[in-house]
Homo-oligomer: A and B are copies of this chain.
Amino acid sequence: MTRPTIHDVARAAGVSLSTVDRVLNDRVGVRHATQIRVAQAMRELGFERNAAAANLARRRQDRLLFILPAGSNSFMRGLERELAQRSEAWEFTSIAVQIVPAFDDMALARTLQAVDPDATDGVAVVATDSPVVRAALAELRERGVAVVTLVSDLPSSRRQHFVGIDNVQAGRTAASLLGRFCRGRSGKIVIVAGSMLVRDHAERRLGFEQVLRAEFPDQQILPPLEGRDDRDIVEAELDRVLRQQPDVTGIYSLGAGTRGVARALAGYGAGGSRPSVVVHDLTPHSRQALLDGSFDAVIHQDPVREISAAVSLLQSLVRGQPVDADAGRIGIEVFLRDNLP
């Protein structure tokens, strides 16, 4: 009827509460045979540790730190807002946020070095890809701090997990959509990126070109524009290309210069002749562009899920609990005008 407690386990296994506790929390001083007996009893009774009571008794607080890039990037600001709003939503966990200059690996490395291992149990970091960052991250792990990367990964570093979407898949998804949208109108496709030095952008481009080349060979991909996630640069560059190339059928914006894309397209009006447009990240601006029909689709990663996945993953790591290999994987969302949340 009611859930079994450690008392029930103790009785069933014929041992004392202390021994059950020792087994449950991997403490030393239990003979192997006894361990087996207790584990057996737990299985038979279907015992599950009451997490509420456990957390209450263990008056530990997990202290987590999130390191995010500065700048006007709507997505990053969304993560920050989410962290601020829900910082009290996790039991027995305190969350700090630190903002560092964007695209600045030295600054990020310095910040990582300055993390106090005695005041921080785990770190989630939006990684800039660079050797100094890798080194600082490894050192942090040496000092016993759990580390996961967020949004943009740093593979073959000592980070324990990555939390975010699969950016190659995201690029492939964009190509599947845009290719279908442009079918029957062969022409040129423009890719608008932030910078190919950022890992997630490079991966998105890779996936996009894979699929478009293989499945929609009548579309020609132009060399990518690098807009540095700046709306003015993006607008100017894209405007130039659209003037030079009259037969652009599709635009894929894989970075954060979305407002620039919308402005460069303003000339087309509502006519059916404008290029099909797929961009990343749902923001007030991309939402508006979907609604007024200037964008066709938005590929999105949900900040809410991203944050909660990062928090629970770090909690598990810090508490030494086992974690799934793909625990940090966030789904890629596709929004059209009609399924906006």
Bound form: Cα–Cα A336–B299 in Å: 12
Q: How many residues of A contact B (CB 8 A)?
A: 38
Bound form: Cα–Cα A296–B180 in Å: 9
In the assembled complex, the CB of A196 is this many whole angstroms from the nearest CB of chain B, namely 21
Which among B51, B56, B177, B334 is the interface contact of A91 at CB below 8 angstroms?
A: B51
Residue of B nearest to A54 (CB): B52
Tell yes or no: A184 within 8 A of B by CB. Answer: yes
Q: Mark A309-341, 1 if CB is under 8 A from B, else 0.
A: 000000000000000000000011111111101
Q: Is there contact, CB below 8 Å, between B334 and A334?
A: yes
In the assembled complex, the CB of A147 is this many whole angstroms from the nearest CB of chain B, namely 25
Are A339 and B169 CB-contacts (below 8 A) given A53-B56, A56-B53, A88-B48? yes
Tell yes or no: A172 within 8 A of B by CB. Answer: yes
Are A91 and B333 CB-contacts (below 8 A) given A180-B180, A338-B207, A339-B169? no
Tell yes or no: A185 within 8 A of B by CB. Answer: yes
Contacts of A55 in B (CB 8 A): 52
Which among B51, B92, B185 is the interface contact of A184 at CB below 8 angstroms?
A: B185
Bound form: Cα–Cα A335–B335 in Å: 10
Are A339 and B52 CB-contacts (below 8 A) given A183-B184, A185-B184? no
Q: Mark A159-185, 1 if CB is under 8 A from B, else 0.
A: 000000000011011011100110111
Contacts of A39 in B (CB 8 A): none
Are A173 and B336 CB-contacts (below 8 A) given A180-B181, A296-B180, A341-B331? yes
Q: Is there contact, CB below 8 Å, between B341 and A180?
A: no
Contacts of A172 in B (CB 8 A): 338-339
Tell yes or no: A265 within 8 A of B by CB. Answer: no
Tell yes or no: A294 within 8 A of B by CB. Answer: no
Q: Is there contact, CB below 8 Å, between B48 and A56?
A: no
Tell yes or no: A211 within 8 A of B by CB. Answer: yes
Q: Which A166-224 residues have a C-beta within 8 angstroms of B?
A: 169-170, 172-173, 175-177, 180-181, 183-185, 207, 211
Tell yes or no: A258 within 8 A of B by CB. Answer: no
Residue of B nearest to A2 (CB): B61
Bound form: Cα–Cα A214–B143 in Å: 62
Contacts of A207 in B (CB 8 A): 338
In the assembled complex, the CB of A253 is this many whole angstroms from the nearest CB of chain B, namely 17
Tell yes or no: A152 within 8 A of B by CB. Answer: no
Contacts of A61 in B (CB 8 A): 2
In the assembled complex, the CB of A218 is this many whole angstroms from the nearest CB of chain B, namely 11
Contacts of A333 in B (CB 8 A): 331, 333-334
Bound form: Cα–Cα A331–B338 in Å: 11
Extra contacts besides A52-B53, A183-B183, A207-B338 (6): CB < 8 Å: A51-B91, A52-B91, A53-B56, A169-B338, A175-B338, A331-B341
Q: Can you show 17 pairs from A to B with CB atoms below 8 A apart?
A: A2-B61, A50-B91, A51-B52, A52-B52, A52-B53, A52-B55, A52-B91, A52-B92, A169-B338, A173-B339, A180-B180, A180-B181, A183-B183, A183-B184, A331-B333, A333-B334, A334-B334
